[in-house]
């Protein structure tokens, strides 16, 4: 080939043609540098007929400059990128961007310099240096990363390098990872587990696309089963990707992985240090990385040869990305497995209705693990009807729940209280004038966090210290908290059970791997009697002495009125219930609610999962909701309210008139102001017969908007705010 078509990373010009200079050879998927005006751009060599683009006369072509020294993106990955761009109505270069590491990683390995404390005791310390020394204990990273981490300027740290307090360390970016050993510690599987593992192992051996739905109750040993498939892929010298929903899960998971395979897996997530990112990306693309465990972004990495994908806790909503390219990693994982011709395992105790339907339709192969491992039984669930058993005034825990906790405390067992609300109280107002503290950038209340003494917005991160007086009426000491968050529940536990040792567990308190390890160790050593936590405690943890779970407010999730509210409530409560009674002692679950008659609560109480899914399926059928129909959203935003409204109206004004596509809106979004941008939404409900993406593309293509307007399409949306 003498001319090449490139996918380039320029929003306005995604496809450009170039000439291949004599002596330079390229393959499809290769990463190259090319001239664009006075600058250079990164490009990916692509099959020309798959991209479209204008035919440029031969004479006008400029030559590409350089082929980067990394292997080409594989054909299955290129097909996946095209598929995602098409399905999610997203720019193809935005999708492709997710496969790339940093520019430095593309340039080659070599070494980089990082810094760490030298152990030298300085004679005299400025307060800033002292603070930095405290913060940087055990850390090693670039000056920039350390400065951010310690909250001091880079200048301060450079001074500390000069004074010998910090020392440079040379890091080899291509140093190999230790090799996992498939037979390091093989567990003895139960009969049901072995049967499941055998199915997975033979699919891995056959290098065949098989989508599995591993549907097993909490504590059934799903992880042990898919570890056998991981082991087989390692034996076959193929790579494995394990997607986990949250970083919180990894700590626990890493320990188990290491116990099984002798070494930790390779991590991929957004808060990796730069040198770790470069090293991991290079090991992934070279094939040296055997098992990668990561959040959803790990899905688009350029694995050299995948042998297996696992999506653990596959029902989790955090697999859905809600900015940039709005994709669902669970669904894309299945598509990637198809292009790679490998098995994919979706593991869950509470699968999404969509996944169950696909299993029923025979698209997914369903593997069941109906029993807990080792004879542990599922906990007994009972309902606390808050209308009949009301907590005392100003309290949130019903007397029966407190009594059960008291008994656990007396027996030396542990309790877990679940409330999916961070902070002390979701709303703060002035007792005198009723002023409500609202975020200046979002249409949302500021949430009081007493432990860290601040009022914070959970959408944009804006925070202020609690003021001494009301900003409206100037009355001092006038703030009242409305409603409970986990911190307030923890205070209540301290009042009713003064001897109990209470731990608040949220993403605020467990914000580093060290803190997670400390928490797990403390809980295992029984240094904690009562855990009060958000959804971060609903999965992954295994505390044998935990015998009581209290759901503080089961109605909370049902209020939002969003499409999947009932399903999400079911999943969350079932998952947190699954923390109880995992050891030899049986567990008990108390669910506080004002709506015991709601189908989801009744199903939870009866332990009748099928009844819940049946009711849910009926409701969705009636609404033509997924999987029986399809949804999409168009979100219009601008810093200028009128601009956003006009753009939304223009879109609404040219809505397609089709029998199988219904358009709702435009209307101001429930979060009508987010991070300083005004937002409008249109919601599209389509029958399965409609070619939804084509309809949306044809609809939006001719429209032009003011400069500051952003229009994004959300296919199969999860968020309705
Ligand atoms: P799940 O993911 O289905 O909730 P896990 O894989 O976490 O279940 O297993 C629950 C607990 O039982 C874990 O502590 C795990 O180590 C243990 N376990 C499961 N299967 C076995 C086995 N075959 N041998 C030993 N321990 C097992
Ligand atoms: Zn905000």
Model pLDDT for residues 208-222, shown as the tens digit of each residue: 999 999 999 988 999
Q: Is the pLDDT of residue 529 over 90?
A: yes
For ligand 1, mutation pick of 221, 311, 369 (most atoms within 8 Å of CB): 221
Atom of ligand 1 nearest to the CA of 220: 3
Name residues whose C-beta falls within 8 Å of residue 142's C-beta, 6 or more positions apart in sequence: 112, 113, 114, 115, 273, 274, 275
In this prediction, residue 145 carries a pLDDT of: 84
Determine if ligand 1 sits within 6 Å of the CB of residue 542: yes
Give the C-alpha separation, 253 to 293, whole Å: 9
Determine if ligand 1 sits within 6 Å of the CB of residue 538: no
In this prediction, residue 517 carries a pLDDT of: 83
pLDDT band at 121 (very low <50, low <70, confident <90, very high): confident
pLDDT band at 1 (very low <50, low <70, confident <90, very high): low
Distance, C-alpha 150 to centroid of its chain: 26
Q: How far is the CA of 255 from the centre of ligand 1 (A)?
A: 13
In this prediction, residue 414 carries a pLDDT of: 96
Q: Nearest residue CA, atom 2 of ligand 1? A: 222
Q: Beta strand 66-67 with 31-36: parallel, antiparallel or unpaired?
A: antiparallel
CA distances from 374 to 219, 248, 377, 576 (A): 9, 26, 9, 20
Atom of ligand 1 nearest to the CA of 539: 4
Q: Nearest residue CA, atom 20 of ligand 1? A: 221
Residue with tokens 């987010």: 674
Give the C-alpha separation, 242 to 299, whole Å: 9
Determine if ligand 1 sits within 6 Å of the CB of residue 221: yes
Give the C-alpha separation, 122 to 101, whole Å: 38
Q: What is the DSSP letter of 48?
A: G
Give the C-alpha separation, 603 to 619, whole Å: 15
Q: Is the pLDDT of residue 70 over 80?
A: yes
The mean predicted confidence, pLDDT, of the chain is 92
Q: Which residues surround ligand 2, an ion (CB under 5 A)?
A: 439, 441-442, 457, 459-460, 462
Give the C-alpha separation, 326 to 14, whole Å: 19
Q: What angle do CA 301, 352, 234 make, to 5 degrees?
A: 40
Q: How far is the CA of 545 from the centre of ligand 1 (A)?
A: 16
The top-scoring range by mean pLDDT among 145-154, 394-403, 423-432 is 394-403
Name residues whose C-beta falls within 8 Å of residue 691's C-beta, 6 or more positions apart in sequence: none
Q: Which ligand is nearest to the CA of 253?
A: 1
The top-scoring range by mean pLDDT among 246-255, 269-278, 604-613, 689-698 is 689-698
In this prediction, residue 65 carries a pLDDT of: 94
What is the chain's percent helix, strand, coil content, to nearest 5? 35, 25, 40
Of residues 591 and 118, the one with the higher pLDDT is 591
Determine if ligand 1 sits within 6 Å of the CB of residue 373: yes
> And the tokens for 223?
């992880």
Q: Is the pLDDT of residue 260 over 80?
A: yes
Determine if ligand 1 sits within 6 Å of the CB of residue 679: no
For ligand 1, mutation pick of 261, 347, 373, 378 (most atoms within 8 Å of CB): 373
pLDDT band at 715 (very low <50, low <70, confident <90, very high): very high
In this prediction, residue 537 carries a pLDDT of: 84
Q: Which ligand is nearest to the CA of 442?
A: 2
Q: Which ligand is nearest to the CA of 542?
A: 1
In this prediction, residue 250 carries a pLDDT of: 67
In this prediction, residue 560 carries a pLDDT of: 64
Residues forming a β-bridge with 8:
43
Is the separation of the CB atoms in 42 and 8 below 8 Å? Answer: yes
Q: How far is the CA of 502 from the centre of ligand 2 (A)?
A: 30
In this prediction, residue 585 carries a pLDDT of: 87
Tens-place pLDDT, residues 177-204 = 999 999 999 999 999 999 999 999 999 9
Q: Is the pLDDT of residue 248 over 70?
A: no
Give the C-alpha separation, 551 to 488, whole Å: 15
3-state SS assignment for residue 649: helix
Tell me the Cα Rg of the chain. Answer: 27
Min mean pLDDT across 183-192, 353-362, 382-391, 560-569 is at 560-569
pLDDT band at 13 (very low <50, low <70, confident <90, very high): confident
Q: Is the pLDDT of residue 688 over 70?
A: yes
Give the C-alpha separation, 545 to 408, whole Å: 10
pLDDT band at 348 (very low <50, low <70, confident <90, very high): very high
Min mean pLDDT across 44-48, 393-397, 474-478, 641-645 is at 474-478
pLDDT band at 132 (very low <50, low <70, confident <90, very high): confident
Q: What angle do CA 654, 658, 664 make, to 5 degrees?
A: 60
pLDDT band at 561 (very low <50, low <70, confident <90, very high): low
In this prediction, residue 590 carries a pLDDT of: 97
Q: Is the pLDDT of residue 332 over 70?
A: yes
In this prediction, residue 135 carries a pLDDT of: 84
Give the C-alpha separation, 646 to 637, whole Å: 10
Q: Which ligand is nearest to the CA of 447?
A: 2
Mean pLDDT of 624-630: 92
Mean pLDDT of 574-591: 89
Q: Which ligand is nearest to the CA of 677?
A: 2
Q: What is the percent of the chain with per-residue pLDDT over 90, rounded to a whole number? A: 69
3-state SS assignment for residue 75: helix
Determine if ligand 1 sits within 6 Å of the CB of residue 189: yes
In this prediction, residue 367 carries a pLDDT of: 97
- Beta-strand runs (E) in 118-263: 166-172, 211-216, 239-243
In this prediction, residue 307 carries a pLDDT of: 98
pTM: 0.91
Q: Nearest residue CA, atom 18 of ligand 1? A: 221
Name residues whose C-beta falls within 8 Å of residue 670's C-beta, 6 or more positions apart in sequence: 720, 721
């Amino acid at each position: 080939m003498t001319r090449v078509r490139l996918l380039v990373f320029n929003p306005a010009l995604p496809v450009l043609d170039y000439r291949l200079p004599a002596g330079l050879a390229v393959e499809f998927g290769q990463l190259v540098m090319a001239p664009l005006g006075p600058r250079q751009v990164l490009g990916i060599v692509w099959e020309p007929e798959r991209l479209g683009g204008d035919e440029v006369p031969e004479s006008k072509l400029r030559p590409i400059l350089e082929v980067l020294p990394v292997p080409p993106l594989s054909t299955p990955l290129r097909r996946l990128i095209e598929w995602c761009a098409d399905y999610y109505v997203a720019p193809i270069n935005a999708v492709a961007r997710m496969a790339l590491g940093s520019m430095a990683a593309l340039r080659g390995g070599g070494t980089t310099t990082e810094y760490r404390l030298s152990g030298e005791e300085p004679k005299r310390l400025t307060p800033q240096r002292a603070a930095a020394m405290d913060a940087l204990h055990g850390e090693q990273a670039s000056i920039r990363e350390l400065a951010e981490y310690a909250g001091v300027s880079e200048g301060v740290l450079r001074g500390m390098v000069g004074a010998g307090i910090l020392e440079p360390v040379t890091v080899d970016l291509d140093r190999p990872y230790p090799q996992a050993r498939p037979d390091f510690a093989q567990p003895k599987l139960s009969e049901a587990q072995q049967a499941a593992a055998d199915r997975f192992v033979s699919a891995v051996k056959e290098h065949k696309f098989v989508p599995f739905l591993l549907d097993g109750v909490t504590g059934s040993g799903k992880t042990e089963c898919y570890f056998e498939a991981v082991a087989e892929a390692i034996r076959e010298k193929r790579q494995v990707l394990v997607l986990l929903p949250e970083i919180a899960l990894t700590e626990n998971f890493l320990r188990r992985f290491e116990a099984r395979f002798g070494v930790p897996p390779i991590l991929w997530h957004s808060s990796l240090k730069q040198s770790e990112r470069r090293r991991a990306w290079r090991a992934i693309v070279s094939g040296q990385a055997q098992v990668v465990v990561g959040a959803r972004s790990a899905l688009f990495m350029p694995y050299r040869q995948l042998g297996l994908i696992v999506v653990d806790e596959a029902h989790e909503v955090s697999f859905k990305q809600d900015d940039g390219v709005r994709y669902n990693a669970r669904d894309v994982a299945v598509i990637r497995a198809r292009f790679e011709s490998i098995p994919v395992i979706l593991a869950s105790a509470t699968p999404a209705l969509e996944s169950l339907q696909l299993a029923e339709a025979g698209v997914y192969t369903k593997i069941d693990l109906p029993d807990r491992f080792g004879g542990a039984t599922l906990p007994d669930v009972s309902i606390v009807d808050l209308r009949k058993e009301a907590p005392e005034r100003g309290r949130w825990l019903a007397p029966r729940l407190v009594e059960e906790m008291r008994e656990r405390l007396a027996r030396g067992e542990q309790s877990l209280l679940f409330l999916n609300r961070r902070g002390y109280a979701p709303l703060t107002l002035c007792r005198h004038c009723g002023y409500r503290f609202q975020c200046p950038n979002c249409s949302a209340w500021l949430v009081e966090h007493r432990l860290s003494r601040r009022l914070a917005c959970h959408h944009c991160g804006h925070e202020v210290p609690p003021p001494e007086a009301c900003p409206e009426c100037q009355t001092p000491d006038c703030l009242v908290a409305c409603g409970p968050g986990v911190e307030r529940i923890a205070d209540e536990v301290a009042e009713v059970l003064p001897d109990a040792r209470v731990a608040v567990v949220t993403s605020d308190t467990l914000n580093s791997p060290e803190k997670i390890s400390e928490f797990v160790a403390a809980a295992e050593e029984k240094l904690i009697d009562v855990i009060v936590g958000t959804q971060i405690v609903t999965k992954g943890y295994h505390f044998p002495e935990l015998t009581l779970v209290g759901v503080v407010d089961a109605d909370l999730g049902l209020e939002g009125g969003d499409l999947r509210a009932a399903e999400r409530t079911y999943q969350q409560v079932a998952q947190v219930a699954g923390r109880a009674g995992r050891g030899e002692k049986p567990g008990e679950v108390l669910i506080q609610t004002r709506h015991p008659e709601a189908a989801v609560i009744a199903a939870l109480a009866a332990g009748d999962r099928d009844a819940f899914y049946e009711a849910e399926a009926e409701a969705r059928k009636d609404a033509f909701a997924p999987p029986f129909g399809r949804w999409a959203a168009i979100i219009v935003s601008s810093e200028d309210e009128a601009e956003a409204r006009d753009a939304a109206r223009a879109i609404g004004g040219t809505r397609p008139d089709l029998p199988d596509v219904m358009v709702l809106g435009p209307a101001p979004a429930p979060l009508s102001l987010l991070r300083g941008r005004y937002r409008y939404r249109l919601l599209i409900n389509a029958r399965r017969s409609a070619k939804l993406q084509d309809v949306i593309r044809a609809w939006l293509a001719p429209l032009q908007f003011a400069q500051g307007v952003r229009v994004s399409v959300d296919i199969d949306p999860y968020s309705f705010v």
